[in-house]
A and B are shown apart, each in its own frame.
Chain A
Amino acid sequence: MEEVDVEPTTTPIPGFDSNQKHLGFVWGPGDILVYETIYKASGGSAGGCPFVHEVRKDEDIYSPILRKLFNESHHIFVGLQRIREDMPSKNKKPQFVSISKNYRSVIRACMEELQQVAVSTQDAALATQYGSQVSILLAVELIWNLCEVLFIDAAPAGSLVLHLLDWVRLHKADVDEKAREVLASESPAEHQAYWDVVISYVLQGRMDEARQVLVKQAALQPAARAMFKLLDNLLMKMPIFNPGETQTLTEFDVKWRHWREEVDRCLQDQSFASNPHLEDICKILVGDEDVLLEHKELLSTWYHFLVTRLLFSHPTVKPTELHYYAQSSMHMFLDTRSVPEPLDSILLAAFEFDIHQVIKDCSIALNNWWFVGHLTDLLDHCKLLQSHNLHFGSNLREFLLLEYASGLFTHHSLWQLAVDYFDHCPEFGRVYLELQIERVPLDTERKALKVIRICEQRQMTEQVRSICKIMAKKALRNNRLGSALSWSIRAKDAAFATLISERFLQDYCANGTFSDLDLIDNLGPAMLLSDRLTFLGKYREFHRLYGEKRFLDAAKLLLSLMTAKIAPRSFWMTLLTDALPLLEQIEVIFSADQTHELMFCLEELTSEKSVPNPDRPMQDEDIETTKIELLRLALARNLAMAIVKERESIEGLVGGWVAGAVVLTGMQPGQPFWRRRQDRDWEPQVIG
């Protein structure tokens, strides 16, 4: 087993005594479920606790303000993935830097909002929670900004110190606040924080601002005017590297050395001896480390100390030399006894250009994957992570993005964001998405449609089918046959469509009417999905034709349903019964050939049924027999009439054929036939 990097933290479960009870647990994607178990191997039904506790790894995802961070950064993330691979890397760098800045501005916006609510809230516990979130975001932004300077922007010697200065200024902005306070007071030069402000400005390399504040003091001490003038001059003349100009680094270095010698001379000839503050400033200008360390309070952090030290002692430091100064600055600044905080070691790792250490330490120190996931993704786009392979998963970027996205997917609302992250994980993203998307709870059809759209856009047919099936089943359970059928048509689920068609047919047999006509009448090509559905559609068409009194078409359709084997055998009896009224129309509708076919169908059916079914009550059997008898009769009559009609039109001869037909059908010639005819006032001359 591998060593753990840090000791895991303990999460107490409220109302649970670990000395007496034992816990069982189940892993979830972003949380675990914990419940009490009974330890005893046998007997003893000690009352178990009825509670199941949900232990979440990541609380931040439920913070309404941090949700904005997730949503906005999702937008930036998607934009980043759209930067084309084949673009020359020279053009890409400014884009990556601007994306990095976008991410940071989102963090800052969140931070500001959190700060506001932390101040305005009445609830102390809540205020503490917001406060700690602010401090986490502060640290995150600090690290991100440093990574941007060192890795993404990859500033060369000269510009490097300028960027680091900006970094320090941004994160140590309380100077400006203090300066405002001092300058707004009645006599700024006598304010107790006056010199703190001046020195802070100098420490941050903000010479112009320092001079402006110094003027106030100079005005108060006319006697020392020359001395102030001298310092002002030194501050003004301090060379600052300007990467935009034609000046080379060497030229700048020479200029800087000259200036530094001048400052040194001032120190040597005790120009500022009479004013300890001015002398301190002068010593800072030559990078006197002891004096710098005397102002620990103003520097407040070792990395501020580092940057100030670089500014005054090594303004042309190369990125590769950075780690040396970083380490020594940290050791000089921090108390030897105190252990560096996680933030310190992360920043140090960054100064050492150890990207993987930065990511690893951040993963351990922070409670969610938002930061490491997005930062790693950006660094990966900058081609900074390629050498490293994991011995699990695919690569670091994908691993972290998958973790982050899986966390999002556990959220009832943010799951939609996760989809785009999975999309950009080439190796395992799709599998993750396939497994997660099927498990999204579907309360409304609208949500189901959204989920299906996600699947369809990614050709995840299996998932589409499964979601449609869930919806179809749900509709069926609620007795919404029409909806259920629509869903199974969408899923192209023939088996389920057959099942629902059966239900429709059953309902028809029970009630004698069709429900959901608007749907069945408009099936269109979808009808071909399953045989049973085709039959349902066609059968309904028969009813419509019949209703419209288009008997010939109706008869043809009805017959073809049986002869083309579209109708299930179990339904033939119903179809034949439906034929009865057509057979008894005044006009002849079924031709002789058609009647023959009907007869054939009936015989086929009755020959199968000859084996008596013991389960069937006798009464049913009787009804069945009567039905068959009636059908035979009607068919025979129709045949007779059809033959008569057909012969009539050809030859005008009738008589013998009628007798022939009667013999043919094996019916007893006689009463029923004639009686019926009399009942209906049949015209005698037709039958001769």
Chain B
Amino acid sequence: MEGINAKYVSQKISKTRWRPVSSSSLQQPDIFATGSWDNEDNKISIWSIGENGISSMDDEFEGDPQLVCEHKHNGDVLDLQFLDQDRIVTASSTGAVIIFRHHHNSQTLSVSQLWERAHHYPCDNAPCTGIVCNSPEIVTVGEDGRIILFRADQEGVLRTIENADSSTIHAVTFLRTTEILTVNSIGQLKIWDFRQQGNEPSQILSLTGDRVPLHCVDRHPNQQHIVATGGQDGMLCIWDVRQGNMPFSLMEAHSAEMWEVHFHPSNPDHLFSCSEDGSLLHWETSSNSDTPSFLQGGRNTSIVSRSALAPAGGNQSLISSWLTGDSSKGRLETTHMLPSQTLSVNSLDVLGQCLVCGTDGEAIYVNRRVPI
């Protein structure tokens, strides 16, 4: 909890995301974007946590996040991802998918592309609930059960999977460049292969008979077959999609909906989750292999960010510590990262040593010294 300060921003925050940094410079991120929800006028905003980064380690009062610029957003921001250094994709409750451009010189935001009513019902709007980017490709999912594939540089829609789901799809992630995984409100994970025509998933996984809605999903940054999901009961599930219909492990985490779960992009033995119950958890599993886990990642990527894909290959043969882990033997440690608070933590993002999260209490918390 040390070094984590609340910044009250007068809007309920639905999403927070770091701007990706180039990994070669070993730089810590210093810019993040937030989206608001449930306001009369919703906004997306860009914040800076200071130019000098963490130059003074013992400085108690590190700079508050400062607002750089903001832009009106029609409808609630239901998801937000950086496409690259200066483009942000948002999912709106109006069903629109919007690309904003952040002009670094003038420090302004503008709409660079808008797909109105991308998600819709026959005569009403359907909220777009999730986005995943693998520049230039953008995949969106929505309450209408559609999966839509866009390209940032094309106006039209590349592909739509109608009726991909009979219930709401809550989140989506890339498994490989042509394969995505979605989670829905009846507790299923569906894998879709864009190389296949037709509107059927290539695989469906679920916790048999449970039907607990899943709200978030994240893929292990180096091992594409490992995904973490979080659901309405606050349970954290780790799945190995190659084998079995059952999750590899189930861990009790939160007492209410888990809204987001993220592996640390460069140190995947660490995982973070946040929930409606107002808590933010840091999970740490000790790696079994002798190889330090930081060597398992792909060093040759130019951009390190969760929205970008790590290169395939790498050390696939290594068994992830998440799959060998046994929470009952105390190999898994969890730490609360926020002081007690009652209102939902809707979103978190972690990059390098920096973590940012946003709450319904209209506060943003930034921690620049996450023990990774």
Q: Who on chain A is nearest to B127 by CB? A: A444
Least Cβ–Cβ distance between B101 and chain A, in angstroms: 26
* Cβ of A516 under 8 Å from chain B: yes
* Cβ of B229 under 8 Å from chain A: no
Q: Are A518 and B127 in contact (CB under 8 A)?
A: no
| Chain B contacts with A in 168-188, Cβ cutoff 8 A | 168, 185-188
* Cβ of B209 under 8 Å from chain A: yes
* Cβ of B363 under 8 Å from chain A: yes
Known: A67-B10, A78-B342, A522-B188. A444 touches B93 (CB 8 A): yes
* Cβ of B344 under 8 Å from chain A: yes
- Chain A, 33-65, contact with B by CB distance < 8 Å: what is the 0/1 string? 000000000000000000000000000000011
Q: Are B124 and A478 in contact (CB under 8 A)?
A: yes
**Cα distance A519–B188 in the bound complex, in angstroms:** 9
Q: Are B8 and A72 in contact (CB under 8 A)?
A: yes
* Cβ of B361 under 8 Å from chain A: yes
Known: A412-B40, A447-B38. A518 touches B166 (CB 8 A): yes
List chain B residues, Cβ under 8 A from A444. Answer: 76, 78, 93, 127, 129, 143
Known: A68-B8, A478-B121, A524-B209. A443 touches B93 (CB 8 A): yes
Known: A67-B10, A68-B10, A444-B76. A416 touches B93 (CB 8 A): no
| Chain A contacts with B in 494-540, Cβ cutoff 8 A | 515-519, 522, 524-526
| Chain A contacts with B in 401-422, Cβ cutoff 8 A | 412-413, 416-417, 420
Q: Are A445 and B166 in contact (CB under 8 A)?
A: no
- Residue from the list B40, B208, B213, B256 in contact with A524, Cβ < 8 A: B208
Q: Are B256 and A453 in contact (CB under 8 A)?
A: yes
| Chain B contacts with A in 183-216, Cβ cutoff 8 A | 185-188, 190, 204, 206, 208-211, 213
A216-224, A479-487, A571-579, A636-644 - the one binding chain B: A479-487
* Cβ of A320 under 8 Å from chain B: no
**Cα distance A74–B129 in the bound complex, in angstroms:** 29
List chain B residues, Cβ under 8 A from A420. Answer: 342
Q: Which of A64, A444, A526 has the most chain B CB atoms inside 10 A of its CB?
A: A444
| Chain A contacts with B in 430-445, Cβ cutoff 8 A | 443-445
- Chain A, 640-679, contact with B by CB distance < 8 Å: what is the 0/1 string? 0000000000000000000000000000000000000000
* Cβ of B11 under 8 Å from chain A: yes
List chain A residues, Cβ under 8 A from B37. Answer: 446-447
List chain A residues, Cβ under 8 A from B163. Answer: 515-516
* Cβ of B362 under 8 Å from chain A: yes
* Cβ of A450 under 8 Å from chain B: yes
Known: A444-B76, A478-B124. A450 touches B276 (CB 8 A): yes
| Chain B contacts with A in 117-170, Cβ cutoff 8 A | 121-124, 126-127, 129, 143-145, 163, 165-168
* Cβ of A71 under 8 Å from chain B: yes
* Cβ of A75 under 8 Å from chain B: yes
Q: Who on chain B is nearest to A72 by CB? A: B8
Q: Who on chain B is nearest to A518 by CB? A: B166
Least Cβ–Cβ distance between A376 and chain B, in angstroms: 21
Q: Are B129 and A519 in contact (CB under 8 A)?
A: no
Q: Who on chain A is nearest to B123 by CB? A: A478
Least Cβ–Cβ distance between B213 and chain A, in angstroms: 8
* Cβ of B84 under 8 Å from chain A: no
* Cβ of A117 under 8 Å from chain B: no
Q: Are A480 and B121 in contact (CB under 8 A)?
A: yes
Known: A446-B129, A453-B256, A519-B186. A75 touches B39 (CB 8 A): no
**Cα distance A617–B153 in the bound complex, in angstroms:** 59
* Cβ of B320 under 8 Å from chain A: no
Q: Who on chain A is nearest to B94 by CB? A: A443
Least Cβ–Cβ distance between B368 and chain A, in angstroms: 22
Q: Are A443 and B204 in contact (CB under 8 A)?
A: no
Q: Are A524 and B343 in contact (CB under 8 A)?
A: no
Interface magnitude class on chain A = 35 or more
Q: Are A518 and B165 in contact (CB under 8 A)?
A: yes
* Cβ of A139 under 8 Å from chain B: no
Known: A413-B38, A478-B121. A443 touches B127 (CB 8 A): yes
| Chain A contacts with B in 523-566, Cβ cutoff 8 A | 524-526
- Residue from the list A68, A447, A519 in contact with B362, Cβ < 8 A: A68
Q: Are B211 and A526 in contact (CB under 8 A)?
A: yes
Q: Are A416 and B127 in contact (CB under 8 A)?
A: no
Number of B residues with CB within 8 Å of any CB on chain A: 51
Q: Which of B10, B165, B208, B213 has the most chain A CB atoms inside 10 A of its CB?
A: B10
- Chain B, 61-81, contact with A by CB distance < 8 Å: what is the 0/1 string? 000000000000001101000
Least Cβ–Cβ distance between A552 and chain B, in angstroms: 25
* Cβ of B12 under 8 Å from chain A: yes
Q: Are B209 and A525 in contact (CB under 8 A)?
A: yes
**Cα distance A450–B362 in the bound complex, in angstroms:** 15
**Cα distance A420–B186 in the bound complex, in angstroms:** 30
Least Cβ–Cβ distance between B162 and chain A, in angstroms: 11
* Cβ of B240 under 8 Å from chain A: no
Q: Who on chain B is nearest to A63 by CB? A: B10
Q: Are B12 and A413 in contact (CB under 8 A)?
A: yes
Known: A78-B342, A518-B166, A524-B208. A416 touches B185 (CB 8 A): no
* Cβ of B341 under 8 Å from chain A: yes
**Cα distance A632–B209 in the bound complex, in angstroms:** 40
**Cα distance A82–B154 in the bound complex, in angstroms:** 55
**Cα distance A522–B166 in the bound complex, in angstroms:** 12
Known: A412-B39, A518-B166, A519-B166. A486 touches B209 (CB 8 A): no
**Cα distance A325–B38 in the bound complex, in angstroms:** 52
**Cα distance A297–B298 in the bound complex, in angstroms:** 73
Q: Are B232 and A64 in contact (CB under 8 A)?
A: no
List chain B residues, Cβ under 8 A from A443. Answer: 75-76, 93, 127
Q: Are A416 and B360 in contact (CB under 8 A)?
A: yes
Least Cβ–Cβ distance between B79 and chain A, in angstroms: 10
Known: A515-B166, A519-B167, A525-B209. A445 touches B40 (CB 8 A): no
**Cα distance A450–B75 in the bound complex, in angstroms:** 17
* Cβ of A449 under 8 Å from chain B: yes
* Cβ of B218 under 8 Å from chain A: no
List chain A residues, Cβ under 8 A from B30. Answer: none
Q: Are B204 and A518 in contact (CB under 8 A)?
A: yes
- Residue from the list B10, B124, B168, B342 in contact with A483, Cβ < 8 A: B168
Q: Are B344 and A71 in contact (CB under 8 A)?
A: no
**Cα distance A482–B213 in the bound complex, in angstroms:** 13
* Cβ of B257 under 8 Å from chain A: yes
Q: Who on chain B is nearest to A74 by CB? A: B361
List chain B residues, Cβ under 8 A from A445. Answer: 127, 129, 143, 168, 185
Least Cβ–Cβ distance between A132 and chain B, in angstroms: 19
| Chain B contacts with A in 29-52, Cβ cutoff 8 A | 37-40
List chain A residues, Cβ under 8 A from B363. Answer: 71
Least Cβ–Cβ distance between B359 and chain A, in angstroms: 9
**Cα distance A423–B257 in the bound complex, in angstroms:** 21
**Cα distance A72–B5 in the bound complex, in angstroms:** 13
Least Cβ–Cβ distance between B45 and chain A, in angstroms: 13
Least Cβ–Cβ distance between B75 and chain A, in angstroms: 8
List chain A residues, Cβ under 8 A from B341. Answer: 75
**Cα distance A559–B147 in the bound complex, in angstroms:** 40
Q: Are B343 and A416 in contact (CB under 8 A)?
A: yes
- Residue from the list B165, B166, B362 in contact with A71, Cβ < 8 A: B362
| Chain A contacts with B in 452-496, Cβ cutoff 8 A | 453, 457, 477-483, 486, 489
**Cα distance A486–B208 in the bound complex, in angstroms:** 16
Least Cβ–Cβ distance between A117 and chain B, in angstroms: 12
List chain A residues, Cβ under 8 A from B78. Answer: 444, 446
List chain A residues, Cβ under 8 A from B190. Answer: 518
Q: Are B121 and A64 in contact (CB under 8 A)?
A: no
Q: Are B40 and A413 in contact (CB under 8 A)?
A: yes
Contacts beyond the supplied A450-B276, A480-B121, A522-B187: 16 A-B pairs with Cβ under 8 Å: A67-B362, A71-B363, A413-B11, A413-B39, A417-B343, A417-B361, A443-B76, A444-B76, A445-B127, A478-B122, A481-B166, A482-B145, A483-B168, A518-B188, A522-B186, A524-B211
What are 11 sample pairs from A and B whose C-beta atoms fall under 8 A apart?
A: A412-B39, A413-B11, A443-B93, A444-B76, A445-B127, A453-B276, A478-B126, A480-B145, A522-B186, A522-B211, A526-B211
